[in-house]
Structure formats: C-alpha cells, structure tokens
C-alpha cells in the first residue's frame, strides 16, 4: 500500500506538466549566426514571465516547497545564448578518433553516440546516424535538430551543432558526463541512488517536461520519455535527451493529429495513444508516471525474467493496492 500511495503523492507534487497549457507568455527567437555554416545554428531566448499589474517580475514557482534556488529549480529557461560549434566531417573524425569504439558512450535507434574532444579542449557528444537506415532516419534527424534548436533549459540537453552532408548525419550536443538514469538504477555506476537523489532527479525531469509542454515557444511532445533518455551530470542533475521522436503539439494539433505509426518504447507507451493514435502531452505524462515507478522501485517497466504476474512493473505495483 505504501508504494502506490507514495507514487500518487509524487505525481501530485512534482508533475505540473499535467496541467492544461497556460496562455503563452514566453517569447523565443531562433537566431541564425551570420558567421555559421548551414550545418550549425544557434539559439537566443528572451523570457518574459507573467506579472500582475503593479507587481514585480517573478519566476514561476517550483512545484515543491523547497528553499529558493532559481539556478536549480526554476522552470524558466537559462538566459545565456548557446554557442555554435562549426565542424566539418574531417574535424569530427579527428575529434572522435575516427569514431573509435573506445569513445562510444551510447546507442539508440538513430545511431551511436561518441564522446569527442574539440581542438579548443571542449568535450561534446556526437551522435552519428546509422548507415543501414540512413534514408529512413532523415525525418528523425530533421526533427531532433529543428526542435532542439528552439529550446534551451537546464534540464534539457543542449544542441551545439550538426552536420548533414553526403552520407553522413551528425548531431552535436553538450556532453553529460555521468551516464544515464537507467545505468544508475541498475547500479552500473558503482553507487545506488539514495532517496533524496531520486527525488531531485524526478523533479528535474518534471521541470524539463513542463518547459516543453507549457513554456516553450511552441509546445513540444517528447514521445520517448524513459530512463535511458535521462542523462545525469556529475552533480546529479537530470537532463532529458533524445528528441528524435519529438513533434510539435499545440491545441489544434492535440485535436487533429492522428499518427499512422505509434512512436515510443514498450512499457512506457500511453495506452490511449496506442488505441486512438492521437498524440497529446498526456502521452509524455503517462511515460513520466512509469518513469517515476522506475525511480521509486529500481525496476524496469517490463522484466521478462520475473514470474508472469510480476513482469509488468505497473501491474505489480497495482497489486499492492
């Protein structure tokens, strides 16, 4: 009984992203660097919080009653501008030591992710599209680049540049040094996360999704919220990554968009989305709920090695009620 009750409490406290979309007050402008190549773009954000007549500007409050800490808990975007990175293919090969397997730090549906060292000493992550699905992944590549270029938030991985030339597609993002949330839940990073760390990670993810759903220039639905798409910094701050399946939302899109192909990961998919093929921000909220169960229990959404009645974590937790 304790686990479901605590899960409901967490959802109520740290998921403002399930509220209806408020009237937009943010102003964002995509700025093309006049000195940049076509393969690189930069972003400049101008954030204007709501204010009542005669009252001072205020940053949206944190969902939890925690000591004020705008640099860690604010839902507003960071105001500094993203720097552009200009790389050609030869420079990318050098930075990754010809895409050496020793520098591989991850793999997804789009392709391999490599740690790269730039000539100025900066460390970045470079995602390289799979050759065998090059044409099929063109939409995913374009979606991730276009959407990441529109956003900047401390709980979302930053786009630094991209390369789209010939038979190569690369996405260059900030390097997040401490691996994925899933690795930490599995104990693969040496230490088991304590309760406070799990709670703060969940809050960070909620802030990132809240920004995408409510505060971005145009509403963005991630469509693949899962523990392996949450990256952790060395100070254990969480960043939502991998926007390959993401798409723009909005009130009209919520009412009219029907997809012919459901995107996402088994175990995290919203049953309503799978049934109706109609995508809304609620699909992300459902996935976030499954992710909360992961954070609380350490289990994966589906664990086939367990007895049949314990394989689906959501059903297993429900059995305690």
Q: Which of 38, 135, 204, 224 is catalytic?
A: 224
Q: Is 224 a catalytic residue?
A: yes
Angular region, 183: left φ>0, alpha ψ -120 to 50, beta rest: alpha
Q: Across-strand partners of 16?
A: none
Encoded tokens for 319: 């059995």
140: number of CA atoms within 13 Å, CB side? 24
- Residues with Cβ < 8 Å from 276, sequence gap 6 or more? 258
Element (H, E) at 43: strand 42-46
Cα(137)–Cα(131) distance, rounded to whole angstroms?
Answer: 9
Question: Can you say whether the dihedral through the CA atoms of 274, 279, 285, 288 is positive or negative?
Answer: positive
Encoded tokens for 153: 């938030």
Cβ neighbour number for residue 222 with a 10 Å cutoff: 28
- CB of 97 closer than 8 Å to CB of 115: no
- Residues with Cβ < 8 Å from 59, sequence gap 6 or more? 49, 70, 74, 75, 76
Encoded tokens for 214: 């409510």
Residues at the binding site are 131
Residues at the binding site for ATP are 131
Active site residues: 224
């Amino acid at each position: 009984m304790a686990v479901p009750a605590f899960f409901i409490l967490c959802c109520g406290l740290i998921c403002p992203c399930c509220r209806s979309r408020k009237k937009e007050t943010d102003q964002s402008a995509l700025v093309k660097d006049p000195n940049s190549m076509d393969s690189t773009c930069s972003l400049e954000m101008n954030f204007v919080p709501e204010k009542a007549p005669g009252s001072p500007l205020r940053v949206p409050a944190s969902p939890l009653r925690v000591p004020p800490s705008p640099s860690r808990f604010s839902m507003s975007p960071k105001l500094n501008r993203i720097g552009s990175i200009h790389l050609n293919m030869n420079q990318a090969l050098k930075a990754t030591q010809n895409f050496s397997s020793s520098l591989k730090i991850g793999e997804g549906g789009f392709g391999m992710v490599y740690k790269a060292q730039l000539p100025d000493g900066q460390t970045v992550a470079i995602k390289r599209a799979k050759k065998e699905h090059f044409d099929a992944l063109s939409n995913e590549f374009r979606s991730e680049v276009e959407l990441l270029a529109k956003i900047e938030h401390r709980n979302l991985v930053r786009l630094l540049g991209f390369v789209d030339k010939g038979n190569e597609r690369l996405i260059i993002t900030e390097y997040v040094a401490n691996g994925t949330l899933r690795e930490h839940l599995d104990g693969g990073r040496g230490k088991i996360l304590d309760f406070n760390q799990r709670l703060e990670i969940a809050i960070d993810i909620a802030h990132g999704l809240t920004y995408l759903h409510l505060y971005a220039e145009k509403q963005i639905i991630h469509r693949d919220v899962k523990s392996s798409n949450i990256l952790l910094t060395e100070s254990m701050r969480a960043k939502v990554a991998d926007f390959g399946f993401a798409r723009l939302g909005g009130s009209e899109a919520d009412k009219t968009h029907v997809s012919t192909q459901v995107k996402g990961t088994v175990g995290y998919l919203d049953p309503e989305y799978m049934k109706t093929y109609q995508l809304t921000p609620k699909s992300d909220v459902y996935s976030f709920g499954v992710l909360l169960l992961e954070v609380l229990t350490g289990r994966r959404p589906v664990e086939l090695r367990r007895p049949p009645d314990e394989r689906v974590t959501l059903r297993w937790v429900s059995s305690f009620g």
